[in-house]
Structure 1
């Protein structure tokens, strides 16, 4: 399935036979002190940099109306976020399972193992990381 926006992900999650809970990690971006001039210029244009998890959240798809609402809520907690990484788990999962999955998700983002996650920018559009 080709997902091009968070709202498409939300729609796809709602269409699953088993109710879903989305797990999300909001990240900020920064440059290391050793960044070159080219890296700094690219960063100023919105490319490159190092990502840092700022906060994580889990929500049943029934709790989400659209990306704009989620982004507004996130802005009240972590205004510096630039991307959100998303995965899913069964909504029936126990709280302990959800907490474990969230911790693993944050660690995966922290170490850059994000191939299985959907990534969205502040406008809710899917992005490809290089």
Structure 2
């Protein structure tokens, strides 16, 4: 199944043989310390910078069925973000993973994003558009 939208992601998670838990790490674009003037100019134009994780959450596909719900929930935290990274966890024996089981994978996701290792995650902007990040 090809994922072209947030709805496709939710449908793919629901279609898996085992129940899924979705892992979200929200990140903000920041200008790295020691940035050059050229880097600053690019950043002001919406390009470049570094992604810094600011918030993470785990949800079942049912809890995260609507992307606007995630945006509204994140707004209540007061944390601004630019990109949401998404991964999944498989359940076992027909039972979805719980939030306690999601804690370590979320921590690992956060560390990978901080290191710039993001190709294995689905990236979504605030408008719900899927992104291709290099």
Residue 114 of structure 2 corresponds to which residue in structure 1?
A: 110
Check 1:57–1:102 CA distance in 2 against 1; reply closer, same or farther (3 A cut).
same
RMSD of the alignment, in Å? Answer: 1.7
Alignment of 1:1-130 (within 5 A): 1-91=1-91, 92-130=96-134
Unaligned segments of structure 2, at least 5 residues: none
Alpha-carbon offset, residue 93 of structure 1: 2.3
Distance (whole Å) between structure 2 residues aligned to residue 7 and residue 78 of structure 1: 26
Deviations 1:3-54 (A, max 9, x none): 2222221121112121111001001111124222332222122221011110
Aligned residues: 130
Distance 1:93 1:65, change over 3 A: closer
Q: When the two structures are superposed, what TM-score results if normalisation uses the length of structure 2?
A: 0.86
Residue pair 1:22, 1:89 contacting (<8 A) in 2 also: yes
- What 5-or-longer segments of structure 1 have no aligned partner? none
